[in-house]
Structure 1
Amino acid sequence: MTNQLWKTAAASLLAVAVLSGCASGTPGALQPSASPEAEQPSASPGNKAEEKDSQVTPDRFAEMFLQGKYGQIYKQFSKEFKQQVSDSEFQALAADFNQGVSAYKLLSELPMDNNVRYTWASEDGSKGMTAVINPSGTILGLQIVPLETFPETDGKYTSGKYLYPFSGEWFTYWGGTNVLVNYHYAYPGQRYAFDWVILKDGQSYEGDPTKNESYFAFGQPVLAPADGKIIKVVNDLDDNAPVGKMDPANPAGNHVVIEHANGEYSMLAHFRKQSVQVQVGDEVKAGDLLGLCGNSGNSSEPHIHYHVSDSPDLDQGNSVRIQFIDDGDVTQGDYIRGSQSE
């Protein structure tokens, strides 16, 4: 149940080049410009218009990529990125990747500290790309990958309807039906899982990022998503400290499994140590308090992990796409307000 949040997600951009250092700025102040390495045109009105037209802004990236404007895109790569791949290598990779693609659709915008991670997929869902862009418009990383899909299960939802397992507003960090927006998708047992954090001004914490208490999600209530019976509880594992240290030997950390009457099983993971309020055998109602959000298990920062399976043996079961009570189709980048919030 590896949860690759902020820094680990950035480090995974390896398909074209390794993502390097991040620049300062705020996610809300994304004002792209030509890269420092680009030749600076004169200040005449005509050249200004040409410069503006040549800029690779986030809203134009996919269109320009598909149009083959690889040289313009390459100019805005960071110096570190360019050290990993040459202009000619990038152009050959990109041209080959674009074969058979008629359009790219933006799937998500993900704040990553002071940068933004954009993800697109081809119309048929067979190819995807992710770019990390800093506030000045420099492209820090680019990943282009073929996407495997599972239409036979993507179109099937749980027979029961479920609440979001929290109150208030949370941000969907992982969720959706391809590996670029939901790394769980590669694993049948967690394919349709979600990871949620709380963001304020594009950040999941305030203060010392090594302390669990700095994270807005830490200690927040985790609620039962539907009526059912508690069939498994783990409650005595430490929260990872400092934040960033992980416990792969206990992937789910402190967790709760709920058996529902429809033969479906909810798994909620990474609770705070000794915060779980239910015991095996308890009957719960939708919205009941289960415990508090923590950072136990194979987790890189405090968050809620939730998925539904067709089996109580969650290592062997198959994840089922969740039908939420509000009929929401949730994917990475979505802000979700819990059904129990006022």
Structure 2
Amino acid sequence: MKKVWISLIGAILLTGCTGQSEATAIPSTTESLTKKKEGTKTMTDQAESIVQALLHGKIGEVYEQTSPSFKQQVSKTQFVEGYTAFSSGLKSWNQHSHTSINGSYYGTWVDQDAKRGLVLTTDEKGIITGVLLKPLQNYPDTDNALTKLAYSAPFTGEWYVFWGGQNVLSNYHYEVESQRYAYDLIQVKDGLSYKGDPAKNESYFAFGQEIHAPQAGTVVHVVHDLKDNVPVGTMNAQEPAGNVVILDHGNGEFSYFAHLKEGSAKVKVGDRVEKGDLLGLCGNSGNSSEPHLHYQVSDGKDLFQSKSIRVQWENGWNPRQGESITAK
């Protein structure tokens, strides 16, 4: 299949360890919960109507709904020709995942054969800020090979899956073997991941939240002295994982807890921890654009040399982008 890309411009997302661009949009006002829910439904419905318009050949009409910055980088001719070439033989677009956080919408669709993907991003007014067309590759052998141990959630309360799943559209880590089954987790209230000054780490609901061991293990690596990124949005690409704790579960499985808060690690190398023990606090260190937890299980203790393993959650969870996880 010919690779055709239409630029993904202005996508408002979250950045983590791999260093791919994902920043977070900041709305100017905070709305009520009811209005936020209504707004999310409206954005989802609008996005679905846009995708269906593409499916039915209304490509030029869709282009007219794009933002000025999109039009500056992609001409109408490029858009129409690119989509037409990419969609040859297309029968349907089926929604795969969506998320609406901090005033921006990110939705993904796959074709009838799960061979092609479409990403659409819009602002809170429904204006298209980005479109990405991407051939999809899957890895069924590793997708179906779960961890030997069953893991509990490494936190308490409700957390939101910003990146996660067995698809590059809903989990940008998926293309990278060392992080294929990683999760980026935040906390969300009323459609926002923060309250107050968005430049301050303390404004984010996830910042400072306790991170716990999801299984027993031995601590094999700890970094605790890296500064949290200030202001929010700046990143430390030289130390991608930031402050991190790594547990060896003793069976060829290692848990990673990355982007922890400076000085918050409660363990040291050699410590034996039990399931539920406090490891540290969620932070915004390393290659992170806002406070969040990067969690994954791998087959070794080197984050970038080991292979990620799909997590078997003890309660049968299979969370992916846009879903919430609640743990006691």
Task: Give the TM-score normalised by the residue count of structure 1.
Answer: 0.83
Kindly provide the amino acid, as one letter, of the partner of residue 103 in structure 1: S
Using the TM superposition, name which of 141-150 and 252-261 deviates more: 141-150
CA separation of 1:324/1:31 partners in 2, compared to 1, >3 Å: closer, same or farther? closer
Matched, 1:104 2:93: yes
Report what 2:11 is aligned to: none
Measured after TM superposition, the shift of residue 249 of structure 1 is 1.4
Measured after TM superposition, the shift of residue 2 of structure 1 is 3.7
Report what 1:70 is aligned to: 59
Q: Give the distance between the partners of 2:217 and 2:41, measured in 1 at CA.
A: 49
Report what 2:23 is aligned to: 7
Measured after TM superposition, the shift of residue 93 of structure 1 is 1.3
Q: Give the distance between the partners of 1:68 and 1:75, measured in 2 at CA.
A: 14
Q: Which residue, out of 305, 313, 335, partners 2:324?
A: 335
Contact 1:6-1:112 within 8 A present in 2 as well:
no
Q: Give the distance between the partners of 1:192 and 1:235, measured in 2 at CA.
A: 24
Q: Residue by residue, what CA displacement relative to the aligned partner does 1:62-119 show, whole Å, maximum 9, x if unpaired?
A: 3322221213322322233233333332222111111233322212222242121111
Q: Which residue, out of 215, 224, 239, partners 2:213?
A: 224
The secondary structure found in structure 2 opposite 1:277 is coil
Matched, 1:206 2:206: no
Kindly provide the amino acid, as one letter, of the partner of residue 179 in structure 1: V
Q: Which residue, out of 50, 66, 85, partners 2:74?
A: 85
CA separation of 1:203/1:3 partners in 2, compared to 1, >3 Å: closer, same or farther? farther
The secondary structure found in structure 2 opposite 1:121 is strand
Q: Give the distance between the partners of 1:134 and 1:217, measured in 2 at CA.
A: 24
The secondary structure found in structure 1 opposite 2:230 is coil
Using the TM superposition, name which of 273-282 and 300-309 deviates more: 273-282
Report what 1:138 is aligned to: 127
- For structure 1, the residue ranges without an aligned partner over 5 or more in a row are 11-20, 34-55
Q: Give the distance between the partners of 1:64 and 1:205, measured in 2 at CA.
A: 34
Contact 1:23-1:115 within 8 A present in 2 as well:
no
Kindly provide the amino acid, as one letter, of the partner of residue 133 in structure 1: T
Percent identity reads 44
Report what 1:52 is aligned to: none
Report what 2:175 is aligned to: 186
Matched, 1:233 2:222: yes
Kindly provide the amino acid, as one letter, of the partner of residue 221 in structure 2: K
Q: How does 1:1-342 map to 2 (within 5 A)?
A: 1-2=17-18, 7=23, 28=37, 29=39, 57-338=46-327, 341=328
Contact 1:182-1:332 within 8 A present in 2 as well:
yes
Task: Give the TM-score normalised by the residue count of structure 2.
Answer: 0.86
- For structure 2, the residue ranges without an aligned partner over 5 or more in a row are 1-16
Contact 2:101-2:193 within 8 A present in 1 as well:
no
Of the two, which has the highest radius of gyration?
1
CA-based RMSD: 2.4
Contact 1:127-1:145 within 8 A present in 2 as well:
yes
Measured after TM superposition, the shift of residue 59 of structure 1 is 2.7
Contact 2:154-2:211 within 8 A present in 1 as well:
yes
